[in-house]
Chains A and B, each alone.
Chain A
Amino acid sequence: DGGITQSPKYLFRKEGQNVTLSCEQNLNHDAMYWYRQDPGQGLRLIYYSQIVNDFQKGDIAEGYSVSREKKESFPLTVTSAQKNPTAFYLCATLKQGASGYTFGSGTRLTVV
């Protein structure tokens, strides 16, 4: 079945450590996005990529980094520079010409 895989579902890290969240898709969709959700707030865009080897900052990119070496994969690294990394992270894809995003099931990151 085609879909988006985010792994792991739950992730715990110590403060000061970098951590990479995985997002893999076999939908052959062109664009990929990373969003973050915090309690009481809407989904906020971190980074997005419309084609391989290209990506743009979203509204809250500070403290994060991404890469898009393959169409299928858009990993997000949460660096130690991110002040409040504990959150729920959602990956989404968009097919060129399609009318809406397809979302993964998310990763809940807790930094202790």
Chain B
Amino acid sequence: ILNVEQSPQSLHVQEGDSTNFTCSFPSSNFYALHWYRWETAKSPEALFVMTLNGDEKKKGRISATLNTKEGYSYLYIKGSQPEDSATYLCAPTLNYGGATNKLIFGTGTLLAVQP
């Protein structure tokens, strides 16, 4: 089982603060990197999928970058709001003999934004 690490495990910030989290993953056989947001009592929601080294994606106040050579991705949230409170999961897919659809999930970063 391959190791995907996310840090920090949890984060408490004030409304308006900007924040970022890290996802580290095996760089060999890399295919794609997914970010999900998982709010309590809801289903995980897809945020981004990135495939190319140097990719940057943005969705409102949330953005992500990807470094496939060193095996990491950053997720940034600018001006955090209480509704951003959720667990943020990253999940790479790796290419082993054509099987590229299995996501390997990290443990997630739990973000709590205080009003």
Q: Show the binding face of A for B, using Cβ within 8 Å.
A: 4, 31, 33, 35, 40-45, 48, 50, 58-59, 90, 94, 99-106
Pick from A45, A90, A99, A104: contact of B102, CB below 8 A. A45
Q: Show the binding face of B for A, using Cβ within 8 Å.
A: 1, 4, 32, 34, 36, 41-46, 49, 89, 91, 101-108
**Best-buried of A43, A48, A58, A101 by chain B (most CB within 10 Å):** A43
- Docked complex Cα distance between A59 and B99 (Å): 14
Residues in B with CB closer than 8 Å to A106 are 43
Residues in B with CB closer than 8 Å to A101 are 34, 36, 44, 46, 103
Contact A41-B44, Cβ < 8 Å, known A31-B101, A50-B101, A100-B34? no
A106 → chain B closest CB, angstroms? 7
Tell whether, in the assembled complex, residue B4 and residue A42 are in contact, meaning their CB atoms are under 8 Å apart.
yes
Residues in A with CB closer than 8 Å to B106 are 42
Residues in A with CB closer than 8 Å to B91 are 43
Interface of chain B, helix or strand or loop or mixed? loop
Tell whether, in the assembled complex, residue B105 and residue A99 are in contact, meaning their CB atoms are under 8 Å apart.
no
**Best-buried of B32, B44, B91, B105 by chain A (most CB within 10 Å):** B44
Residues in B with CB closer than 8 Å to A40 are 107
Pick from A50, A58, A59, A103: contact of B43, CB below 8 A. A103
Q: List 16 A-B contacts (CB under 8 A).
A: A4-B43, A35-B105, A42-B89, A42-B105, A43-B89, A45-B103, A45-B104, A48-B101, A90-B44, A99-B46, A100-B46, A100-B49, A102-B43, A103-B45, A105-B41, A105-B43
Q: Besides the contacts A43-B103, A43-B105, what 7 more A-B pairs have beta carbons closer than 8 Å?
A: A42-B4, A42-B105, A43-B91, A45-B103, A100-B46, A101-B36, A102-B43
